[in-house]
Amino acid sequence: MSNKQIRNIAIIAHVDHGKTTLVDQLLRQSGTFAAHEQVEDCVMDSNAIEKERGITILAKNCAVSWEGTHINIVDTPGHADFGGEVERALSMVDGVVLLIDAQEGPMPQTRFVTKKALALGLRPIVVVNKVDKPGAKPDAVINAAFDLFDKLGATDEQLDFPVVYASGINGWSSLEEGEPGEKWGESMAPLLETILRHVQPHEGDEAAPLQLQISSLDYSSYVGRIGVGRINQGTIKPGMDVLVMEGPDGRTAKGRINQVLKFKGLDRMMVQQAGPGDIVLINGIEDIGMGVTVTDPADPQ
């Protein structure tokens, strides 16, 4: 898969503005996911593991496939208590979707994450959600989003954000206010198309030495610790020997990758190879830690 066929996004939303419902629709409509119940099951499973193992799993990522493009959706903790987590999650993405309730407008609790995203140079897409509500006032919400971005130091390019109107619960989105668009019928296609068009694929040379920073951790009783991160450059394969570096002056250790997996729906699938832009889960390195960089032993970056 070329990096042109990958998009990595985070969805920033205030609680109750409809993120779970919207992501569920994306999963269903892209054919990566069957039943709504499984969403909750999976979320609960990871929480149970989190408690059991004492490993913080804040990033519940998933991926949808659209027109041959793999879209990773990275979860971001909703509020400021998780400063480091937010930065790490955002370091894996190339664009953000700010999902806003069409009646309530942007909420102060999402300011922190939005500010971080803007400061990292990420371009926002605004989704005005729940436009089916009688009290919806999309224009006012878009203006409030503009003012918020402006206050938070957005560039002109970031202020020139695309807007998608959505009713996540009814499974449709539109580029025009009020109605599901004619072209795609009642579907999430307008949102998915907007993501493909406005989020830049990650640039990186697949022939360069491997550079993969671990941005979150997971655990499985079968394979032990799992490191999650986006490949900046190079190629990773199962069975590969690597160097694990803890920061520029930190400890360096040798390791061997066991499996390489990617997100698919809310599941993970094993792959034989992954390259620049791919968000991967790797296991086999027992004490892999947050923030370490996995590189080629021959040519550490």
Site membership for ligand GDP, residue 13 (CB under 6 A): yes
* List 167, 211, 283, 293, residue binding ligand GDP (CB under 6 A): 167
Closer residue to ligand GDP, CB minimum distance, 102 or 245? 102
Site membership for ligand GDP, residue 115 (CB under 6 A): no
* List 87, 132, 206, 246, residue binding ligand GDP (CB under 6 A): 132
3-class DSSP assignment, residue 43: helix
- Window 20-59: contact mask with ligand GDP (x via CB under 6 A): xx--------------------------------------
Site membership for ligand GDP, residue 138 (CB under 6 A): no
Closer residue to ligand GDP, CB minimum distance, 169 or 208? 169
Site membership for ligand GDP, residue 168 (CB under 6 A): yes
User: What does DSSP say about strands 172-174 and 163-167: parallel, antiparallel, or unpaired?
Assistant: antiparallel
* List 49, 58, 169, 196, residue binding ligand GDP (CB under 6 A): 169
Closer residue to ligand GDP, CB minimum distance, 15 or 140? 15
Site membership for ligand GDP, residue 15 (CB under 6 A): yes
The candidate with the shortest Cα–Cα distance to 132, out of 166, 158, 163, 106, is 166
> In Å, what is the CA distance from 181 to each residue of 11, 96, 164, 194?
22, 23, 11, 13
Spell out the alpha helix ranges (H) of the chain. 19-29, 37-53, 83-90, 111-119, 138-151, 156-159, 189-198
Distance CA 114, CA 20 (A): 19
Per the CB < 8 A criterion, the answer to whether 286 and 292 are in contact is: no
Distance CA 116, CA 131 (A): 27
* Other CB atoms within 10 Å distance of the CB of residue 13: 25
* List 18, 95, 124, 284, residue binding ligand GDP (CB under 6 A): 18
Give the angle 84-262-270 at the CA atoms, nearest 5°.
Answer: 140
Site membership for ligand GDP, residue 179 (CB under 6 A): no
* List 7, 17, 115, 116, residue binding ligand GDP (CB under 6 A): 17
* List 7, 130, 225, 230, residue binding ligand GDP (CB under 6 A): 130
Q: Which stretch binds ligand GDP (CB under 6 A): 19-27, 83-91, 193-201, 212-220?
A: 19-27
The owner of tokens 């080629």 is 296
Per the CB < 8 A criterion, the answer to whether 226 and 282 are in contact is: yes
- Interface contacts to ligand GDP, rule CB under 6 A: 13, 15-21, 129-130, 132-133, 167-169
